[in-house]
Each structure stands twice: as C-alpha cells, then as structure tokens.
A and B are shown apart, each in its own frame.
Chain A
Amino acid sequence: MSDYILEMNHITKEFSGVKALDDVNLKVERGEIHAICGENGAGKSTLMNVLSGVYPFGTYSGDVVYNGEINKCHSLRDSEKKGIVIIHQELALSPLLSVAENMFMGNERTSAKGVINWAATRQQAEEQLAKVGLTGIDVNKPVNTYGVGMQQLMEIGKALAKNVELLILDEPTAALNDEESKNLLDLMLGLKEQGITCIMISHKLNEIEYVADNITIIRDGKTIETLNKASGEVNEDRIIKGMVGRELSNRYPVREGVEIGETIFEVKNWNVFTPEDANKQRLKDINIHVRAGEVVGLAGLMGAGRTELAMSVFGHNYGQKISGQVFVHGQEVPTKTVTQCIDNKLAYVSEDRKTYGLILMQTIRENSVTAARKKYFSNHGVIKKNEEVIAAEEYKKKINIKATSIEQTAGSLSGGNQQKVVLAKWMLTQPDVLILDEPTRGIDVGAKYEIYCIINDLARAGKAVIVISSEMPEIIGTCDRAYVLNEGEIAGELNKEEITQERIMQCIMAHNRKNG
C-alpha cells in the first residue's frame, strides 16, 4: 500500500450557493511531484486554498487527511506549522526589504524574544539560498534588485526555511523564461530527492510531463482522473482531453439574423514592451481585424497577452514603446488616451470590474454615465441630469440590471449586475467597437446567459465585438472567429467551424514547440 502524505476526500466548497469544488478527491504520495491540471476557473486554486488553510476548517465539507490525521487548519500559519507551505503565483516578497529579511519573514531569526539576530539572519539566508542553487547573492540588497526568476527561487528558499514537508507551487513558471523555468524544474526534482513532496499547478503540459509522477485533472470543480506517469498514461492529448472533455449544452444563445459586414476595426503590426523592462517584448507583431456584426474571440492561456493587447490599444494603458496602427472604419486613429478612443468609437470593458470598471460607492446612474458624460450628457460642462436619469433607466430595463432603483450603489449589486452596469457605461459612449475582457468572470450561469444575449444584440446592431476569455467554451459558444494568443504572439486564427478546445490547445502547443 502506498504511503500517502495527503488525502483530500470528498471536498466540497461553495461560494454563496455556487459550488467551486464538488466532491474533489486528491491523493498525494510521500515524496512525489504531483501535478494538478485544469482550465482557468476549474477550481485548482480553491482546492489549494482549502489545503493551506486560507479557507479555514469548517467552511468546506469533506476531510483533509495529512500525515494520517485530519487536518483542521484555520489559517496559513497553522498549516505552515505542520509543514505545508504554498507559494502563490504572485510573489509574496517585500520588494524593498533585503533578501535576508525576506527569507525569514514571519519566521524571524531572533536572539531574545522579538529582537532580530541580524548576523544569524544573514548567514542562514545564504545557507538557504545555497539549497536552491543561488550562490553569490548579496543578501543585504533589496529583493527587487534581482530578477523574477531569482525571486521565485528565493520564495522556495524561504519555504524551505520553514521545515517544509509539502510544498505547493501555483504556476511557478508563469513569469519565468525558458532557462529559469528549467532551473526551477530541476530544483523541484532535487527537492524530491531530499524527500520533500511537491504539488504543482501548471498549464504547461511539457513541464508537467517533465517533472510530475502523477497528474490529477480537475474540471468544473470535480476531479476527472489521476494519471500515473510510470504506467505510461501521460501524454499531452490525454491531458487535454481530460481538461476540456465537457459537453456543451445550450448555455449560449443562438445568434441569428446578423449580417457580417466590412472590416471596421483593425490593429496592424502591434508591438509592445513590458512596462517594467524596456527590452522585454510583451506583444509581437500582432495583426487582427474585426468586421461589423462579427464577434471575434481572443483565446489563450493566462499570461498569453490578451488583456495586455486590449489595454495597450485602449489609451495605451499597458506597456511602453508601443508601435503599430489602429484603424476604425478604415481610418487610422490615435489611441493614446482613453478620450481619443471614446471619440473614435472604441470601448473596453475591463476584466476586473471592481478595480478598473466601477466606482463602487457611487450609484448605478453615476457609474453608467462616467465615460459618456462629457460627450453626451453635458452642456458646456453642466450636467444634464434628467437625461442621465432617462438613459440609466433605459439601460436598466434594456439589459435587465436587477436593482431597486438607479440610485442604488454599484457596490451593493451582485457580480452579474455589476458587469451589466459596466456594459451600460460603455454602451452609452455609443461605440462601434467593443472589447469585452472576461465579460462573464465570476458571475453565475443565468447572468452569463444574459451577457451573451447582450453580445448578440451588439453584433445584431452592427458593432464589432472582441471577446477575451479564458474559458474556452465561452469562445466557442459566442465567437464567429477566434485568434489564439500565446506568449504575446498570434499562435493561430480559427474560423467558426474550427474553434474547438482541442484546436485551441493544439495551436498553443504548436506555438510553444516552435518557440521552445
């Protein structure tokens, strides 16, 4: 019988009635590297948060058995004491503090109680760094003097300093280049030799094939299967099938009576460099076009550069050294500022409605007119309040925003209704081209359907619509055509008949192979 360090049995976790995890089972053997695969939103991160105590014992049902006993963690601290350490996708280092101080943050080396022993801190920091293969690091320098790849290794070193038994890595290579990734994967294999168990969440199937002993596939909050590498079950096709093998029922309203017209939106030779590093190219030679009445998807994995593309086009809100041209109705238009974009009939509904879309403390009416006010709802700078009220009421009815009145604050609405307010805000600017970034993220199925209906209405009205989505079924269900982005480049273009989850994944894999 195998020796399991961790067994998660029948884990179910609900968020206000929506099941994020539904009867999930996961068994991890001592000393293995266990990969967890699944689409964005499949429930991987939720599962890891259950394990590490972010969602405390009692807020989920089912058992977490760790080292033979039921784990009742109430916080990250609890689980860390037991040797479970999670390293998140976003680095949890304090950028301006020294490497040494970061290594022992929350786990300080002290002489007397509460007095930091700096000598020991520095010396042991160097020891920890050596364990992860980092030598010659000046531990007195601030963390941000080192690159992301090194910082990722420092995070692992920090975890090792906590006597870790089970290390969880959430997309550890997402921000790394190939060489850094290879380093990190080899380090994981090294840790395995030392008897440390790793759970790794990753999208990169070649990496999983390289390091993982077992692979558990999660889809829609359920465990689909666990594949064993030793028994030869593991290959890309098999994993992809497991990840995407879901039936599509009529979750998407049919779009009828839409005439696809001429190309009204075009981006040509779009190149963008990252805001942090002027030498690192984020988007390379992107060319896309959208016709009137057409819904075009931008598919790709997280970090493929889809949002960056939209944000860099829309008011140059992302990146630097931006070059390329944008055409609306065949005319080249400037898009340097958001106002220019609005004037040229562009609209962008951001993926994060709470941070970038809404002013939560303000009313539905205020939010609805924020973008359109200057152009359509004022006269020499004085607001035409009555017309605002009429417009807000009209859209509340038209796209079915469920609220007691338009004077209700946006913060008090449900996610779906908040999203509708953001849509209303941009529809009121009377755009011809709408870029919808993750338009249904975090909203329930019913509201999703309504959003899809709005997309159909927009297409019917002859608008050009771009849908960015991490949920492949959504791209398939709503789009007439799709571009697949990968690592800042167009990896493929698929027509309506060609858009399948397999084809999208194949585009990504082929592109990865070409570049790797």
Chain B
Amino acid sequence: MENKKTVNVDLKQYGMLFLLIVIYLIFAALTKGATLKPANINNLVMQNGYVVILAVGMLLCCLTGNVDLGVGSLVALTGAVCGIVMIDMGLNMWVAILLALLAGCASGVFVGFFVAYLGIPPFITTLATWLMWRGLTYTVLQAQTKGPFKEDFTFIGAGFLPTMKIPFGNGTLDLVSIIVAIVISVLVILAEFKGIATKKKYNLAQNPAWQLVAKDAVIIFLVFFVFFNLGRNAGIPFILVILAIIVGIYQFITANTVAGRQIYALGGNRKAADLSGIDTKKVFFWVYANSGLTAAIAGIVLASRNASATPKAGDGFEMDAIASCYIGGTAVAGGAGTIMGAVVGAFIMGVLNNGMSIFGWSTDIQKVVKGAVLLAAVTADLLSKRKKN
C-alpha cells in the first residue's frame, strides 16, 4: 500500500528558537547594532558556555520532575579546588582538572545517595548542598580570590582554535571558521536526507519539501551568521568545541540510549516505570551524580575564563540553568524536554543578559525582565498544551 502522507513541520518545536532570534533582533535594534558586532557574538558564546553546560546537567534533573539547586555552589567549590591545586600546591593543570572533576562527582554521588537511596526530596537535599558547598568554598578560599591562573589553563575558557586569517574588509576573516560552517551545513543537509529516507522506509508521514528547505535554510543561515562573525573576530573559541562535544554526547544519551529513555520513563510515570523493570532508584542516583559532573565542568570553565577562583563564583547559576530548561520547553512535572531545548533556553537567557547589559540596564532590572520572560514562556507553553487537550 503506497500512501503519501504529509504532515506540517511542527512549528512549536522551533518556537523557542524563533523567540531567541526575535529577542536578539530586538536588542540589535535597541542598541543600534551593537549586539550584532563580531566581538559581541563571540562574547555570547564565551559568556554563556557554563550556563549551557549546567543546563544540560540540569535538564536530566528536570526530566525527573525535580531540580538541583546545588550546582551554583558546586561551580564555586570546583573552581576553588582548581585554585588551591594550581596556586597553593603549585601542581599542573591536569591534576587540578582531575581533582575538580572528582570533587564534582563526589558531590553528585553524595546527593544521589540521599535522593535515590534514602528518599530525601531532591529539593531539600540540594538546598543543603547549595548552602554547604558555598560555605565550604568561602572556608577553603578564606574568602579570598585565588589567581591568576597560567595561560595553559585559561585556554579552556578564553582560548581560540588555530586560525588562518585572510584580510577581509577593514579587518581579517578566519578561514577555519568558514570551513567549519560549511562542514556543519553539509551535515545538516545529509541528516535531512537520511531522515527522509528513514521515514520512507517505515512509511511515516513526510514533511512537505518546501518546509524542510525553509527550515534547513534558516538553520544554515544561522550557522553561517555565527561562524562568519566568529571568524571576523578571533576564530572559534575553544569553549565552543567543549560545548559541541557535551551537547552532542547528552543529546545522544537522552535520545538514543536505554539509560536516557529510562529518565523520561521515570519522569513520565514512576510507578509504571517501576513495574516495567526500570530501577528508578538507580536512574535517580545517576541523574544527580551526573549533575555533579556537569557542574564541575562548568566550574573549571568559569575559573579558566576568569583566570581565578573566587568564592562568589557561580552565584545564582542554578537558577539560570533551571530557567533555561523550562524556557526550553521542559515539562515542569517531568517526563518531557530536550537537550536542544535547554541549550536554546540557555542562549535566550544569555542574549537577554548580554543585550540588556549593552543597552545599559542595571542588573536589578535585568532580573525583573528575565523573571518575566521565564514566566511568560512557561505560561505560553502550558496554555497551548492545555488548549490542545
């Protein structure tokens, strides 16, 4: 039976991406193009790297219907570990990175044990680590900033990939950035063809061709916009490579592994998951253990970018990460949400921060706006879902 089924591209899936673009354009207009400058595009990536990393770890917690409040403090604590190891003990950066990651995992295992095996609500457990790790950071750093770190370490958060600069306009253009953009564009198109082939094979509904072309055109345009501007600035920041790897890995885990889908099953209906042979305690444990790991990575990146460890680092980052997940369409009760959604959510927060700073709004007003955007995004999301039912 050959039937040609078509279905429109679900615009809602890309709703937050549109929101991101719209907000960006609004600030571009408000700041008379200041946010469009290559240096600012570069800043957007470098300033938001750690929020994206935290949002990825947070998403897994949100999928279970919970949050991890302790990650901001853990960012500071792991940064402090780097500082003590490299400055006080004078050891090399690899030891520091290893110990910082271990500290993060230890915190994650600690939280996971309480949450999964003692059944303490995650909110309470992580409220406790939020307090404890912050206090511990102040103690071990004696409320002082430790730095500066050497250049090999700061490369992680502030360095750039090798470049091949050619003169362009009144500046230069990095050819490596352009090559990467071309490679990504080719991959996007290949993935689309593969998707069409798979749908054909299983006789699933296809999207109309023009919609796919439009969708891919927008994506490729965005890719070129970003990489062209990075190329005009100083090339591809190293942090972008880290982000790509982390986002790629977690996208794969959440979409294509048994362990990943078990998180969704747990968040969607814990009782049903239990009765389907899923060890929900184990899932809970690993989700929170993992949150410690991603917080440690974020802590290292932040310390590296600041070239120092300060006890105040990461203050309030947990809220940015949580907000990123929910703006990115994660269900508050758990069970639904995507890595890409959380990443887009994180960049919405980032674009807001960045735009408002350039526009000259105080950080106080920035908080009001961010709060309002979070509320509006989640309200719109929930109302539209309610309508559908």
Contact = CB atoms under 8 A, between A and B. Distances in A.
A341 B274 CA distance: 12
Given A382-B257, A383-B256, A317 B274 contact: yes
Given A362-B264, A405-B204, A405-B205, A356 B259 contact: no
Interface stretch (A2-10, A369-377, A451-459): A369-377
Nearest to A384: B256
B272 A337 contact: no
Contact of B335 (A355, A357, A359, A374): A359
Contacts of B331: 361
Contact of A338 (B261, B264, B265, B275): B275
B376 to A, nearest CB: 23
A357 B270 CA distance: 10
Interface in A266-322: 314-315, 317
A383 B264 CA distance: 14
B13 to A, nearest CB: 13
Contact of A393 (B198, B202, B265, B336): B202
A355 B272 CA distance: 7
Interface string B265-284: 10011011111111100000
Nearest to B269: A359
Interface in B301-342: 331, 335-336
A366 interface: yes
B118 interface: no
Interface in A385-410: 385-386, 389-390, 393, 405, 407
A341 B256 contact: no
A378 interface: yes
Contacts of B264: 359, 362, 366
Contact of B268 (A314, A359, A386): A359
B183 interface: no
From A337, A350, A362, name the one whose CB has the most chain B CB atoms within 10 angstroms: A362
Given A362-B268, A366-B261, A378-B258, A342 B204 contact: no
A361 B205 contact: no
A339 interface: yes
Contacts of B279: 337, 339
A361 B336 contact: yes
Contact of B275 (A317, A362, A389): A317
B276 to A, nearest CB: 4
Given A361-B268, A405-B204, A315 B275 contact: yes
Contacts of A374: 258, 277
A405 B199 CA distance: 12
Contact of A371 (B205, B256, B261, B277): B277
A356 B271 contact: yes
A185 interface: no
Contacts, number: 82
Contacts of B265: 359, 362, 366, 370
A292 B102 CA distance: 54
How extensive is the interface on chain B, given as a class?
A: 20 to 34
B6 to A, nearest CB: 13
A425 interface: yes
A390 B204 CA distance: 12
From A361, A371, A425, name the one whose CB has the most chain B CB atoms within 10 angstroms: A361
A381 interface: yes
B272 A356 contact: yes
B206 to A, nearest CB: 12
Nearest to A390: B202
B273 A359 contact: yes
B62 to A, nearest CB: 14
Contacts of A350: 275
B272 A358 contact: yes
Interface in B80-101: none
A483 interface: no
A373 B275 contact: no
A360 interface: yes
A378 B205 CA distance: 25
B335 A361 contact: yes
B256 A425 contact: no
Contact of A360 (B204, B257, B269): B269
Contacts of A385: 256
A389 B277 contact: no
From B258, B261, B277, name the one whose CB has the most chain A CB atoms within 10 angstroms: B277
Contacts of B198: 386
A381 B258 contact: yes
Contacts of A370: 265, 272-273, 276, 278
A359 B257 CA distance: 18
A285 B68 CA distance: 47
Given A359-B265, A374-B258, A348 B275 contact: yes
Contacts of B271: 355-356
B268 A360 contact: yes
Interface in B331-355: 331, 335-336
Nearest to A359: B268
Contact of B277 (A338, A366, A386): A338
Given A360-B268, A361-B331, A338 B257 contact: no
A353 to B, nearest CB: 9
A362 B261 CA distance: 11
A342 B277 contact: yes
B258 A373 contact: yes
Contacts of A382: 256-258
Contacts of B256: 382-383, 385
A341 B335 contact: no
Contacts of B273: 359, 370
Contacts of B269: 355, 358-360
Interface in B13-63: none
From A366, A370, A385, name the one whose CB has the most chain B CB atoms within 10 angstroms: A370
A339 to B, nearest CB: 4
A339 B280 CA distance: 12
Interface string B249-261: 0000000111101
B274 A338 contact: yes
From A373, A386, A389, A393, name the one whose CB has the most chain B CB atoms within 10 angstroms: A373
Nearest to B270: A359
A341 B277 contact: yes
Contacts of A358: 269, 272
A359 B202 contact: no
A389 to B, nearest CB: 5
A383 B256 CA distance: 5
A381 B259 contact: yes
B328 to A, nearest CB: 17
A60 B291 CA distance: 53
A338 B335 contact: no
A386 B204 CA distance: 12
Interface string A162-183: 0000000000000000000000
A59 B279 CA distance: 44
B267 to A, nearest CB: 9
Interface in B177-211: 198, 202, 204-205
Given A355-B271, A361-B336, A362-B268, A383 B261 contact: yes
A341 B277 CA distance: 8
Contact of A425 (B261, B268, B276, B336): B276
From A355, A359, A386, A425, name the one whose CB has the most chain B CB atoms within 10 angstroms: A359
Interface of A: 314-315, 317, 337-339, 341-342, 348, 350, 355-362, 366, 370-371, 373-374, 378, 381-383, 385-386, 389-390, 393, 405, 407, 425
8 contacts: A355-B269, A355-B272, A362-B265, A373-B261, A374-B258, A378-B258, A386-B198, A393-B202
Interface of B: 198, 202, 204-205, 256-259, 261, 264-265, 268-269, 271-279, 331, 335-336
Given A359-B264, A371-B276, 16 more contacts: A314-B275, A315-B277, A338-B276, A342-B277, A350-B275, A355-B272, A356-B271, A359-B268, A359-B335, A366-B261, A366-B264, A370-B272, A370-B276, A371-B277, A381-B258, A389-B202
Q: Which 3 A-B pairs have the closest CB atoms?
A: A359-B268, A338-B277, A371-B276
